[in-house]
Amino acid sequence: MDVDVIRTEQLGDRSYLVHDGSQALVVDPQRDFDSIEELARARGVQITHVAETHLHNDYATGGPQLALRHSATYLVGETEGLEYDHQRILPGDRIDIGRMTLTAVATPGHTEHHLSYVVDGDGEQAVFSGGSLLYGSVGRTDLVDPQKTTALTRAQFRSARRLAEQVSDRATLYPTHGFGSFCSSGPATAADSSTIGEQREHNHALTETDEDRFVDQLIANLTDYPSYYAHMGPLNRMGPSAPDLTVPEPLSTGELRSRLDRGEWVVDLRNRVAFATKHLEGTVSIEYGDGKQFTTFLGWTLPWLDPMTLVGSEDDIRAAIRDLSRIGIDRLDVALGDPPQDLADGIPTTSFPSVEWRDLAAEFSAGRAPTVLDVRRDEEFNAEHIEGAVHVPLHELLPRMADVPHRRLWVHCGSGYRSAIAASLLERAGHDVVHINGLYPEAAGAGVPVTTGERTPAPSS
């Protein structure tokens, strides 16, 4: 038995191709499954089964379409409301796949009907745990229904222990989440591989003996998660279509200007400092970069499925189209131009300062009392923040724009990435902004006064 890992680092997830040299099982495929198909061809195996551990909340599944394309059996545990062909698999069911045997294990917690799969073959054992047992932690338990969080957390504690008891310590563990995904509940590690035996020693779901204490600690660690998660469950019940990953015909300059004039979302994919230096008036900066933050923060910040145009290089646009398809954002329009002022031809351009922490420190030293806007998440702000800073998390900025004071705003986050998005949104709404492009841990060393405490309410303007 061989297991190939397909990493989707942009969302912190993994899919798996499990095979015996002839027949293959795919576990938790992303919507863009072409890389899985390429891998299957390279291994010379036929995809005969596709299995979901749960109804995913953080991405659009490729399971139904992948199974259809390969005439494979599609295995799911939660079937209510599904609008496509599938075979329901129940806890305890055993299915032979070539020389391998798959056994379904009930592991509710991350979702109510969550399953893990134990696959035995050639004397080896592999555990595909989805959002149940992760490396060092477990999947979060508040995505189904806030009223069920406590009950699901108790179920998660018991599920993790039950799963570990049913397999060998030598069994290799293959979770879907926990590699940067917001589906993780807490201190999931960045390990590349692990076994059940290692998890017995280090995973708090297995080392903690008091269920009540585990429940209290896990719930206390739950933080905000991306707003687009609310759309993934319904989309996955309906069955996402295969994505169209081609780059569409670029818009004309006139059409691009019309969209900006109508106030539509036009997203500039360039480096955030280049954006600040010069950009088309009315555009939003969401840097593509290495893509690791792009999908999450675009989907969390902008209204899901609002009309959207991407502006940037063809390579960045092509990658962004693929990434956004994973959260169900399709039918994008594009304008090719890097820098985008090449497209200007009558479209106004503008800029705002992008500075370092020492520039903000100079404002404090001069006694000018700068208005600092912190757009990090609550838990980051409460751990430490700049003295007197106004706090509006990036994902709350659009609905809370009226809370932001109308004076020059020095906008920061933890690295400069989120604050660039925020600064562009604020400028678009008519605010005077300065973007701080720096790592937050360097602020105090630069002379910026910091403190700890709860959120500072946004003052009235």
**Local mean pLDDT, 10-residue blocks, the chain (461 residues):** 95 96 98 97 98 96 97 93 92 97 97 97 95 95 95 97 96 92 69 91 95 96 94 95 95 92 96 96 96 96 95 96 97 84 80 98 95 96 96 97 95 98 98 98 97 58 34
Domain 253-350 CATH superfamily? Rhodanese-like domain (3.40.250.10)
Residue-level pLDDT at 134: 96
Q: What is the dihedral of CA 129, 134, 135, 138, to 10 degrees?
A: -150
**Burial class (CB within 10 angstroms; exposed 0-12, middle 13-18, buried 19+) of 203:** buried
Kindly indicate whether the domain formed by 2-238 is annotated with CATH number 2.60.40.420. Answer: no
| 354-451: CATH class | alpha beta
Residue-level pLDDT at 336: 86
Q: Where in the chain is the domain with CATH 3.60.15.10?
A: 2-238
Residue-level pLDDT at 102: 98
Residue-level pLDDT at 188: 55
Q: Where in the chain is the domain with CATH 3.40.250.10?
A: 253-350, 354-451
Q: Which of 161, 150, 156 minimizes the C-alpha distance to 216?
A: 150
Alpha helices in 413-457 (DSSP H): 417-428
Cα(438)–Cα(146) distance, integer angstroms:
36
Cα(110)–Cα(113) distance, integer angstroms:
9
Residue-level pLDDT at 460: 39
Buried b (16+ CB within 10 A) or exposed e, 365-385: eeeeebbbbbbbbeebbeeeb
